[in-house]
Amino acid sequence: MIDLSKTTVQRTDAEWRAQLTPLQFRVARQQGTEPPFQNAFWDHHEDGVYFSVCSDTPLFDAKDKFESGTGWPSFTKPIEPAFVGEHRDTSYGMLRVEVHCAVDGAHLGHVFPDGPRAQGGLRYCINSASLRFMPRKEFEGWVARRKTGANVGSS
């Protein structure tokens, strides 16, 4: 995989607002949540990779996506664990584990211990508004360009 260990993307709120739609900004930058069953990727089945909407960071592979019945895209694991950070979320009187993009800080959603047991038992419940999709062939070209030294982490 591409090494993003030293890559960070930081922008002001004004810069994020200029780059993102209002929904993307509310979800990714203000820890919002989009409605279930009314988002771009909950029922999306194309082969490829889901990136952070805030940077050039691949987060989840479509091969790890599964139907959770929750109305949000759900994955069994991130494409690379180092790309997805976690922290304790006690908002709304609940104890959950919030997940975010480790490169750009975008709020992604939450991880729960109720995923498919055969794949590790985790369910990464992710907001579509925090993601952008890249078809597999395009992703393969993206990887090839990065291997030749092209810049990563920014968009």
Q: What is the pLDDT of residues 39-62, one digit of tens each?
A: 999 999 999 999 999 999 999 999
Q: Which domains does the chain have, with CATH numbers?
A: 13-144 (2.170.150.20)
Q: CB of 148 within 8 A of CB of 99?
A: no
pLDDT, mean over the chain: 90
Q: What is the pLDDT of residues 84-102, one digit of tens each?
A: 999 887 677 777 899 999 9
Is the predicted pLDDT of residue 151 greater than 90, yes or no?
no
Q: Is the pTM of this model over 0.85?
A: yes
Enumerate the active-site residues.
125
DSSP character at residue 39:
S
Give me the residue label for tokens 């082969």.
Answer: 47
